[in-house]
Structure 1
Amino acid sequence: MPTEPGPIELDVRELRAVTGWAAECASRVLPLFEQDRPGDPRPREAVEAARAFAAGGPRTTALRQSAWAAYKAAREAATPAAAAAARSASHAAAAAFLHPRASAHQVKHVLGSAAQAALAEEENPAGGRGPAEGTGQWALRHAPREAGAVLGRLPAAPPGGGRAGEHLRALDAALRAGGHTG
């Protein structure tokens, strides 16, 4: 695991695999946002843009804009669960823009969607799936091998970030330890 920022190898196949997985993580919690803001399509559009890239589409300005739009939608959400769900969608679209640079910030491009989705479930006042059945565990079981391979080229997840940061570091540690079956 690198400790100094520097270039890493990263190919489009890895970007597509990570982005597709991130989109699936976000899609698990989209209903939390859509219940809060039923007329706001921005997070769903970000997830769909991420899926299109993962399926072979181009990495475009529109894809990047959909990530920013979902992020803005998070700021307009009325509940913490809805805000985290929108941030998960934002991270899914942003996963396509992982840079080939060994920086701890890049870990958020790989794991941000899963971490925010886990936070959205945790913040959901209606309850729902418990920690053992939630998106965090689902993400580990369904992580593509490419996610673990890319993480192995990056420094560990950065400190901070509140509860979402805790989810990020837990996912990072588990995937680095081979805690996935993807």
Structure 2
Amino acid sequence: MTGELSEVALSKQDLREVTAFAAACAEVVLEVFEGGQPDDSRPRDAVDAAWAFARGGERGKALRDRAWAALKAANGADSAAAREAARAAMSAAGAAYLHPLAKAAQVKHILGAGAHAARAAELVADDDGNVAAEHLERTLHRATPIVVDVLKRFPTAPSGGGRVGELIRMLDADLRSLTLTE
């Protein structure tokens, strides 16, 4: 092996589908963040920007800035659950920047919002792993055949990443085992 990474074919429509999936995953836990920080719209703005791209908008500075702003909101959040909810929003906006490199780390762009959202729900429920599992089950139903197809173009999710990494790997394995039709 020469050390060069192969490229994965990704169309703009693929990126829009992945971003819509990520936005749908993140928006279900926005209230976790907003409950403690009702005047901080940065995570909601990131999800809104992700939806705007998914619905035909362009990737650009505003989308990237909203992703970074959601991350800053996460860093200043008042609870671990709120931090994870804001990271889900950041991941939703960041999904639009999935790179066409056949690297396992790119799977985080596809599944990060779902995993952070599941972790937020789990933390709200006093670290109840059953809640995370139920949340991941609902996340599976949000995935379109295109999202699953895009995921399967990449290597499986990488090791590490703590509990969120574990949730990413669980979601990755479950989505890869699905047989979906359009």
Pair in the same fold by TM > 0.5: yes
CA contact (8 A) 1:8 1:100 kept: yes
Structure 2 counterparts to residues 67-86 of structure 1, below 5 A: 67-86=67-86
Q: Matches of 2:99 and 2:16 in 1, distance apart?
A: 13
Q: Matches of 1:101 and 1:26 in 2, distance apart?
A: 24
Quickly say closer, same or farther: Cα 1:180–1:141, change in 2 above 3 A.
farther
Identity of paired residues, percent? 50
Q: Matches of 1:88 and 1:160 in 2, distance apart?
A: 18
Corresponding residue number in structure 2 for 1:114: 114
| Unaligned 5+ runs, structure 1 | none
- TM-score, with normalisation over the residues of structure 2? 0.92
* Offset, 1:5: 2.8
Hey, which of these two has a bigger chunk of helix by percent?
A: 2
SS in 2 for 1:93: helix
Q: Matches of 1:107 and 1:83 in 2, distance apart?
A: 21
* Offset, 1:65: 0.8
Quickly say closer, same or farther: Cα 1:77–1:181, change in 2 above 3 A.
farther
CA contact (8 A) 1:141 1:181 kept: no
CA contact (8 A) 1:14 1:146 kept: yes
Corresponding residue number in structure 1 for 2:21: 21
Corresponding residue number in structure 2 for 1:100: 100
Corresponding residue number in structure 2 for 1:12: 12
Report the AA paired with residue 61 of structure 2. T
Structure 2 counterparts to residues 22-37 of structure 1, below 5 A: 22-37=22-37
| Unaligned 5+ runs, structure 2 | none
Corresponding residue number in structure 1 for 2:152: 152
* Offset, 1:44: 0.2
Quickly say closer, same or farther: Cα 1:61–1:26, change in 2 above 3 A.
same
